[in-house]
């Protein structure tokens, strides 16, 4: 653990007015790991991602990538440093084609300036050609799902394909670290299975991945480590097996055994327990 982590946060906090969405979170990912961030709805997982990628300025705390501080940098600067992400509610460029989306993902990698774009000299031409090749390489990682519809507008893709396109768009920037915000949400079990295989394969190519996930079967089967957030705080961290048996985690997901559950209201409990039914047997 003393090796320099790829990504590290020190006491990272983000408050919105009086609401502490993320509180003093210490977090690290080592190179090549898949780390999952789990927690009930509203635990601050997406906010955590947003602070890391520069969409929000942290209220306090620091973020380091490969030992270098990136706290509070703009999203595009963070991407150039090597952190790419996807969004919980897919945010593709809906009226651009699949190929164009992946090309935009390479924006920071490409060098052509405004004059190069106008005059299209040999260097710009070569760069554009290589960008297209690279785009096809990235897309072909997902079989023919994307390459087969390279000229389809993103808005016309099937749901699962949109998820893959978002991952491909992020991959196109050649990131060191990929942040996936609920990549399998809305997918049926077969699609989830396929998505998991793809994510596992990305890891094998040397990519480091942080995953926000609700489906605990996904989390448990593929994570090297799991970090649990609740009310913005890190309440547990460890291997999937450790986290699974952690008293606080069970409490966060299912509520306290006796009175608190009633106080919190049944609806909340049901809502919080819903993400994964397979969790219940383990808890009992």
Binding site for another protein (CB under 8 A): 41, 53, 55, 74-76, 79-80, 84-85, 87, 91-97, 99-100, 103-105, 107-110, 112, 114, 117-120, 124, 128-129, 132-133, 136, 147, 150-151, 153, 155-156, 159, 169-170, 173, 185-186, 214, 274-275
Q: How far is the CB of 10 from another protein (least distance, A)?
A: 23
50 φ, ψ (degrees, to nearest 5):
-65, -35
Question: Which residues partner with 246 through β-bridges?
Answer: none
Q: Which is nearer to another protein, 59 or 112 (CB)?
A: 112
Q: How far is the CB of 248 from another protein (least distance, A)?
A: 23
Q: Which is nearer to another protein, 36 or 147 (CB)?
A: 147
Measure the CA–CA gap between 199 and 195, rounded to whole angstroms: 6
Q: How far is the CB of 245 from another protein (least distance, A)?
A: 26
Q: How far is the CB of 30 from another protein (least distance, A)?
A: 24
Residue 37 DSSP SS3: strand
Q: Which is nearer to another protein, 96 or 261 (CB)?
A: 96
Q: Which is nearer to another protein, 30 or 96 (CB)?
A: 96
Question: What radius of gyration, in Å, describes the C-alpha atoms of the chain?
Answer: 20
Residues whose CB falls within 8 Å of the CB of residue 173, separated by 6 or more in sequence, listed in order: 79, 84, 105, 106, 107, 108, 109
Q: How far is the CB of 83 from another protein (least distance, A)?
A: 9
Q: Which is nearer to another protein, 84 or 207 (CB)?
A: 84
CB-count exposure of residue 176 (10 Å: 0-12, 13-18, 19+) = middle
251: which 2 tokens? 């409490």
Q: Which is nearer to another protein, 99 or 234 (CB)?
A: 99
Q: Which is nearer to another protein, 93 or 231 (CB)?
A: 93
Q: How far is the CB of 271 from another protein (least distance, A)?
A: 8
224 φ, ψ (degrees, to nearest 5):
-80, -40
In the block, which residue shows the tokens 């077969």? 190
CA dihedral (212, 63, 203, 77) positive or negative: positive
Sheet arrangement for strand 83-85: 83-85, 177-181, 208-212, 34-38, 225-230, 233-238
Measure the CA–CA gap between 52 and 48, rounded to whole angstroms: 6
Residue 229 DSSP SS3: strand
Q: How far is the CB of 1 from another protein (least distance, A)?
A: 29
């Amino acid at each position: 653990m003393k090796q320099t982590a790829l990504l590290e946060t020190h006491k990272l906090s983000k408050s919105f007015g009086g609401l502490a969405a993320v509180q003093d979170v210490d977090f690290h990912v080592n190179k090549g790991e898949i780390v999952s961030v789990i927690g009930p709805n509203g635990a601050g997982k997406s906010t955590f991602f947003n602070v890391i990628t520069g969409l929000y300025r942290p209220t306090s705390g620091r973020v380091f990538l490969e030992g270098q501080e990136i706290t509070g940098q703009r999203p595009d600067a963070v991407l150039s440093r090597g952190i790419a992400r996807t969004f919980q509610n897919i945010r593709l460029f809906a009226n651009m084609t699949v190929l164009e989306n992946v090309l935009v993902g390479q924006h920071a990698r490409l060098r052509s300036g405004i004059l190069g774009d106008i005059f299209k000299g040999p260097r710009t031409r070569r760069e554009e050609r290589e960008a297209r090749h690279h785009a096809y390489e990235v897309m072909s990682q997902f079989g023919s799902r994307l390459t087969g519809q390279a000229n389809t507008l993103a808005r016309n893709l099937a749901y699962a394909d949109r998820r893959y396109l978002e991952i491909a768009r992020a991959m196109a920037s050649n990131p060191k670290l990929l942040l996936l915000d609920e990549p399998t949400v809305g997918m049926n079990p077969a699609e989830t299975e396929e998505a998991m295989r793809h994510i596992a394969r990305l890891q094998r190519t040397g990519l480091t991945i942080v995953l926000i996930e609700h489906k605990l079967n996904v989390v448990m089967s593929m994570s090297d480590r799991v970090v649990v957030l609740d009310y913005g705080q890190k309440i547990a961290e460890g291997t999937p097996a450790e986290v699974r048996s952690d008293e606080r985690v069970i409490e966060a997901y299912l509520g306290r055994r006796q009175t608190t559950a009633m106080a919190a209201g049944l609806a909340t409990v049901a809502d919080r327990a819903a993400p994964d039914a397979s969790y219940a047997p383990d808890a009992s």
